[in-house]
Amino acid sequence: MAMPKLACRCGYIHNLSPIPDDGFRVFPDWATDRLLYAEATTTEEWEIRQLRQAALSRLHSCPNCEAIMWDKAGDGQYHTYVPCERMIRIFADLTDRDESGGIRLRHPQTMADIERQHLLLHHGAYVVLHDGHDEVYTCLNEPQDENGEPADGTWIAYPLDDSDVARDR
């Protein structure tokens, strides 16, 4: 049986298996006031139903990109809110290039950064690569075989031109 998981836009995976998980229940003010100050004998059945529905609202905060994912109705349909547009940063050997100038993402520290941040790399994602001294704004491209077909292997990050970097900063 698959463990329940929730993927963030950046690729971080929220593990929903533990009970309770790292998410939050979100109650509107009226529901909180009703739960804290209402007497059980005066609560109508329709109010109890509304409180139960409000209790289904869930929120998850991504530790990687700071996005907030909110399932307002409790139906598994999450809406993502991004408090800042900070790009994902990972270490890379900026000198490990392919024939077209792309930076290969295969250094052990790069792989450790990807694992630590729970990233799922995907084609077209923007990532800031750094080597501890310099940084390069890049766009990811899937590894391809000699026929241009997707292949398992090293991801390539292509440096962005200056106008794209200025826009993304």
Kindly report the pTM of this predicted structure: 0.50
Q: Does 77 lie in the same domain as 104?
A: no
Among residues 66, 81, 96, which one ends one of the domains?
81
Which CATH number do you get for residue 151? 2.40.240
pLDDT tens, 38-83?
666 666 777 777 777 777 778 888 888 778 888 887 788 888 876 5
Q: Which domain holds residue 140?
A: 88-168
**Nearest Cα to 155, choosing from 103, 119, 81?**
103
**Are residue 74 and residue 102 in the same domain, yes or no?**
no
- Give yes or no: residues 41 and 70 share one domain: yes
- When divided into structural domains, the chain yields a total of 2
Distance of CA 134 to CAs 91, 94, 115, Å? 10, 8, 22
Q: What is the DSSP letter of 121?
A: -
